[in-house]
Amino acid sequence: MNYELPPYPTQFIDVWRLRDGQRVTVRPILPQDAQPSQQFVRALSQRSRHRRFHAAVNELTPAMLERLTRVDHVRHLALVAERVEQHGTVLVGEARFVCADDPRRAEFAIAVADDWQGLGMGRRLLEALLHAAAARGVRHLAGDVMRDNRPMLALAVRLGFSFGSPPAEPGLVRVTIDPLAACADSDRTADQAAPGGRPRPTGFATGAAGRVVEKSIHLPGHSMFAAMTWISSFTGLAWPRSR
Ligand SMILES: CC(C)(COP(=O)(O)OP(=O)(O)OC[C@H]1O[C@@H](n2cnc3c(N)ncnc32)[C@H](O)[C@@H]1OP(=O)(O)O)[C@@H](O)C(=O)NCCC(=O)NCCS
């Protein structure tokens, strides 16, 4: 089969130090990540796989592997976090967006290996994906999240996503954001932050993303506490969390 490699976007390569001091390399996916991607998916817990794929997926089919690793880095961009170990590369996180026919609209998905969750990687992957999506001209990024997926819903609140209901999907919450507006917000916050401070998006940016959400549900307040209380009532889960 002929396959011409699209230009590799090296600007998205980075090395991150996680909350526990471990380092991972983050980079756009490559076709040779097919086997590591399969191992990544197989190693996820059943709950994480279900939350990622919304189905009882144990492993990826060859067609899915091909589709997920041979990407054009423009309309389909995937970032993987990897550890280089003695026996080769191990993927510990991935986040991607895939554009619709209208290249300004895209859907995202994200997963972090179970042993690596809670270290800040999900947040950084999603922030990096927002920057990449903004750079590609995406103005409406959406993801469907299971209603009981508290970590993902909390992460979405943190990053300023708006919440809505996908039509005819009672078990899911649709989270949406305008990546360009979100990045402008976080850049402004970084500019205002004290030297050495961690850039964090502020507020919940419901204005920017709210415009494009069908049946938009607005958060009843502009504090993290109000947002978490709102999510708890929505999902039936108690807050504060226990990890
Ligand atoms: C959702 C997911 C990607 C989060 O990744 P992560 O690396 O664990 O997240 P982080 O450590 O960056 O945490 C980011 C935020 O999420 C929230 N969060 C993380 N774990 C949480 C938990 N167990 N309970 C509640 N909130 C949690 C917090 O708000 C946290 O912000 P903080 O660090 O400022 O407190 C990860 O749990 C995952 O891969 N889940 C399985 C797949 C999935 O659900 N994908 C989403 C489908 S769209």
> Could you report how far apart the first and last alpha carbons of the chain are, in Å?
46
241 lines ligand 1 (CB under 6 A): yes
Q: Is 92 helix (H, G, I), strand (E, B) or coil?
A: strand
Query: Where in the chain are all domains bearing CATH 3.40.630.30?
Result: 9-100+109-114
The pair of three-digit structure tokens given for residue 230, joined into one six-digit string: 């709102």
pLDDT at 219 over 80: no
Residue 243 pLDDT exceeds 70: no
pLDDT band at 191; cut points 50, 70, 90:
low
Classify the C-alpha dihedral 200-157-101-61 as positive or negative.
positive
- pLDDT of residue 197 exceeding 90, the answer is no
| Residue minimizing CA distance to atom 23 of ligand 1 | 243
pLDDT at site 3: 62
If residue 135 lies in a helix (H) or strand (E), which one and from where to where? helix 121-135
Summarize the confidence of residues 166-195 as an average pLDDT.
Answer: 80
Fold held by 9-100+109-114: Aminopeptidase (3.40.630)
How many angstroms separate the Cα of 7 from the Cα of each of 73, 125, 134, 226? 8, 21, 18, 44
154 lines ligand 1 (CB under 6 A): yes
C-alpha span between 86 and 89 (Å, rounded):
8
Angle between helices 121-135 and 150-159 (to 10 degrees): 50
**pLDDT for residue 88:** 82
Judged against a pLDDT cut of 70, whether residue 205 lies above it is answered with: no
What are the start-end ranges of the E strands in 10-87? 14-17, 23-28, 76-85
How large is the average pLDDT for residues 5-19? 94
pLDDT digits (tens, 9 = 90+) for 24-80: 999 999 999 999 999 999 999 999 999 999 999 999 999 999 999 999 999 999 999
pLDDT single digits (tens) 110-134: 999 999 999 999 999 999 999 999 9
Which of the residue ranges 64-73, 146-155, 221-230 would you say has the lowest mean pLDDT? 221-230
* pTM of the full structure: 0.82
Tell me which residue has its CA closest to atom 15 in ligand 1: 155
Q: Whose CA is nearest to atom 44 of ligand 1?
A: 51
